[in-house]
Amino acid sequence: MNPAAANPDAFLALLSHGLITDAQHDAVLAHPETAALPPIPGPAHALAWMCLKDIVTQEEIDAAVERLEEASPPIATADDASYIAYDAEEFVELGDRGITHEAVNALFNDGLVDAETRDMALEETPLVGSVPAAPAATLAWMVIDGPLERELFEATRAEVAAEPAFAMAADRARIVAEAQDEIAADEKAVGAWRATAQGKRRRSAWTSGLVTLAIAGGLGWHLFAPAGVPACNAEATRKTLQGLMLRVSIDARTQGLREVGIPSLSGLREIGYRKDERIRGCMATMTRGDDTKAIAYTIGPASADDDKMTVRGADPVIVEARFGNLDAKGKPLYNAEPIGRVAAEKAFRDGVTALQANSPAAAMLQRQLERQRARQRSTTGLVVTDADREREIADFEPTGPCRAHEDGVSRVCPLVVEYNDSLLATVGRAQSLPLTGEFTFVQDNGNWRMSDDFAKRFTRAVLEARLAGMGVTDAAAAPE
């Protein structure tokens, strides 16, 4: 590795980022092994080494990152510090498997990787580990997750297999064989996971698939013109929903979901009625075999000045919050005062848009989701979808009164937000997530915006909702 490319002040960088204290930095300088360290690629390598030497703990690092993220006014380098801490934790985990600089250099010295691959691997591995260096595990990691292309590894395997027997050749052959065993085991595990996931997806196709098509992704609707807003369990409503189940079932089959029957609906009931908007919020239970799922829908005018009624899918959590908290006149109890519903929703949507604009990965996932929806529209035509439900923030509802922030100016409001998660959609899971939590609104030149900690709070809410969707009941204990 080119020493000039290394970072000679990696430990000082940790101090300047606020990830370690002056005392911890002094402990590094006094440590007997510091002077003998090789060139350090970056601060994350230095932080991982400090963890291994018990100069700093993971709990102390987490506390430092949290302090930096919550600082007011915001610290410009807080995000950089978070990335360093994350990478350091990854390095510690690699070191626990013996995937270290020593192992990388051993592979280079044995002629199993070239100088370019070595240098790239040194950037992505820790200086030392908690266990002895493991060249075979490191070679396997290079192929599975690291910088070594599979084709180059196969070429090396062929070269080693053709070598005449001598001491170094036997060692090279052993390392390559052990690495190949790990690679094969990883491929087998990945294949089994995919098969299991596919099986689960097929077994739950009529529950999750139908809910995604009929509810989470924006329920198709059917128009009818009664004298007034039909009840949630009225015959006209029931027939509309049953017809919808049939159409969604047909659409599901065109997307490759196995036909096993049309779901049935039971327990149609009203949660509340918005008299000013003439909209009923309703719930029901969808059953297919042993699988049941709570679904929600609304009944109301197709437009504000239209007498024709439409049944639209909705998120159950949103319906419970919106229609379960009405006063005697059928109006919402909670309106995000003093901000106001419209201003609060705009501020929230603008905040999410800003987050995604600053994330190339999120933008890529959103484009993938849009392409996926376009393909679905090209193959399904019986279910009409609600364009509003396909927005990233599909719905927004205050769930309680806003309270004054401790600064006396900002407002903290409890919300439930229906979020279309592009990440879940791209891996074939139901994309609609109900996000719940308290979010802070700040008044800025007469307008309301989200507070500086919005990115952290929003990310946390998404993570908790994802975990809850996977059956992790203790989502609140998820890491920041």
Tokens of 396: 């927004």
Question: Do residues 98 and 106 touch, judged by C-beta distance below 8 A?
Answer: no
**What proportion of the chain, given as a percentage, has pLDDT over 90?**
39
In terms of average pLDDT, the best of 109-118, 203-212, 371-380, 418-427 is 109-118
Residues 58-71: tens digit of each pLDDT: 889 988 988 887 88
Please give the Cα distance from 330 to 280 (Å, whole number): 10
Residue of 126, 174, 179 whose CA lies nearest to 153: 179
For residue 214, pLDDT over 50 is answered with no
For residue 427, pLDDT over 70 is answered with no
The whole-number average pLDDT for the span 130-156 is: 90
Tokens of 151: 């084709």
Q: Please report, in angstroms and rounded to a whole number, the separation of the first and last CA atoms in the chain.
A: 35
For residue 294, pLDDT over 80 is answered with yes
Q: What is the pLDDT of residue 39?
A: 87
Q: What is the pLDDT of residue 367?
A: 56
Residue of 261, 255, 258 whose CA lies nearest to 199: 258
Q: How many CB atoms lie within 10 A of CB 226?
A: 14
Choose between 217 and 395: higher pLDDT: 395
For residue 370, pLDDT over 70 is answered with no
The whole-number average pLDDT for the span 197-206 is: 44
Burial string for 159-172 (b: 16+ CB within 10 Å, else e) reads ebeeeeeeeeeeeb
Cis peptide before 434 (omega within 30 of 0): no
Q: What is the pLDDT of residue 384?
A: 44
Supply the angle between the helices 135-144 and 150-161 in degrees, to the nearest 10: 140
The whole-number average pLDDT for the span 190-211 is: 47
The whole-number average pLDDT for the span 304-308 is: 71
How is the chain split into domains, by residue range?
3-191, 206-321, 341-477
The whole-number average pLDDT for the span 297-314 is: 80
Residues 326-344: tens digit of each pLDDT: 998 999 999 999 999 999 9
Q: What is the pLDDT of residue 201?
A: 43
Q: What is the pLDDT of residue 336?
A: 95
Tokens of 468: 């809850």
Residues 26-46: tens digit of each pLDDT: 999 999 999 888 889 999 999
The strand order across the sheet containing 291-301 reads 223-224, 309-314, 291-301, 279-288, 264-274
- Determine which of 90-94, 205-209, 347-351 has the lowest per-residue pLDDT on average: 205-209
Please give the Cα distance from 130 to 142 (Å, whole number): 19
Q: What is the pLDDT of residue 218?
A: 39
Tokens of 341: 């519903």
Secondary structure (DSSP) of 307-363: --EEEEEE-HHHHHHHHSSB-TTS-BS---TTT-HHHHHHHHHHHHHHHHHT-HHHH
Please give the Cα distance from 153 to 159 (Å, whole number): 10
Q: What is the pLDDT of residue 2?
A: 37
Cα atoms in the 13 Å half-sphere on the side-chain side of 113: 30
Question: Do residues 67 and 82 touch, judged by C-beta distance below 8 A?
Answer: no
Question: Do residues 48 and 55 touch, judged by C-beta distance below 8 A?
Answer: no
Q: What is the pLDDT of residue 225?
A: 53
Put residue 428 in one of left, alpha, beta given phi > 0 → left and psi -120 to 50 → alpha: left
Please give the Cα distance from 346 to 343 (Å, whole number): 5
Q: What is the pLDDT of residue 475?
A: 43
Residues 85-130: tens digit of each pLDDT: 888 988 998 998 999 999 999 999 999 999 999 999 999 999 999 9
Please give the Cα distance from 251 to 39 (Å, whole number): 60
Residues 10-19: tens digit of each pLDDT: 999 999 999 9
Please give the Cα distance from 26 to 383 (Å, whole number): 66
Please give the Cα distance from 389 to 215 (Å, whole number): 9
Element (H, E) at 188: helix 167-203
Q: What is the pLDDT of residue 65?
A: 86
- Determine which of 88-92, 243-247, 330-334, 463-467 has the lowest per-residue pLDDT on average: 243-247
Tokens of 58: 């993971």
Please give the Cα distance from 110 to 104 (Å, whole number): 10
Choose between 241 and 56: higher pLDDT: 56
pTM above 0.75, yes or no: no
Task: Look over the chain and give the mean of its residue pLDDT values, rounded to a whole number.
Answer: 79
Please report, as a single letter, which amino acid is at residue 394. Answer: A
Q: What is the pLDDT of residue 77?
A: 85
Q: What is the pLDDT of residue 251?
A: 57
Q: What is the pLDDT of residue 247?
A: 65
Q: What is the pLDDT of residue 195?
A: 52
Residue of 141, 98, 90 whose CA lies nearest to 120: 141
Tokens of 262: 């049309």
Cis peptide before 132 (omega within 30 of 0): no
For residue 366, pLDDT over 90 is answered with no
